[in-house]
Amino acid sequence: MPPALNQILLAALEATKGSDIRTLDVRGLTMEFDHMIIATGTSRRQVAALAERCMEQARAAGHRPLSTEGWEAGDWVLLDFGVTTVHLMQPTARAFYDLERLWTPPQTAADPAAAPP
């Protein structure tokens, strides 16, 4: 895990007023990456600003994305830093794709955290 990179990305998102910022540890669910950071921007302009700030701050620390996608549409921008992917989405896209649900393993009945209060 690149904790320094994740901290840089999270700080960039907070500084650019990203909302509902979540970090998911997806090790064991995929071999493609270890962490997923998801944040919401209120408009195409803010989603682009979030992405630009993440790229700027990561590059300043010596990290370069392997690829980026979604700049044209602006409702969902993906930054792939290898072990960490960043998903920056407008609220409608985030609600529709619901990445947190897709990338969170289901709890089992044997799991004490799954028991009702």
CA distance 54 to 24: 17
Which helix (H) or strand (E) covers residue 5, if one does? Answer: helix 3-15
Topology at the third CATH level for domain 3-102: Beta Polymerase; domain 2 (3.30.460)
Does 95 or 114 have the greater pLDDT score? Answer: 95
Per-residue pLDDT of 25-84, as tens digits, reads 888 887 888 899 999 999 999 999 999 999 999 999 999 999 999 988 889 999 999 999
pLDDT at 74: 81
User: Are residues 89 and 76 in contact, defined by beta-carbon separation less than 8 angstroms?
Assistant: yes
Per-residue pLDDT of 71-93, as tens digits, reads 888 899 999 999 999 999 999 99
Q: Of 49, 64, 46, 87, which is closest to residue 2 (Cα–Cα)?
A: 64
Reported as a pLDDT band with limits 50, 70 and 90, residue 107 is low
pLDDT at 13: 97
What does the domain layout of the chain look like in residue ranges?
A: 3-102
**Partners of residue 47 on adjacent β-strands:** none
| pLDDT(105) > 80 | no
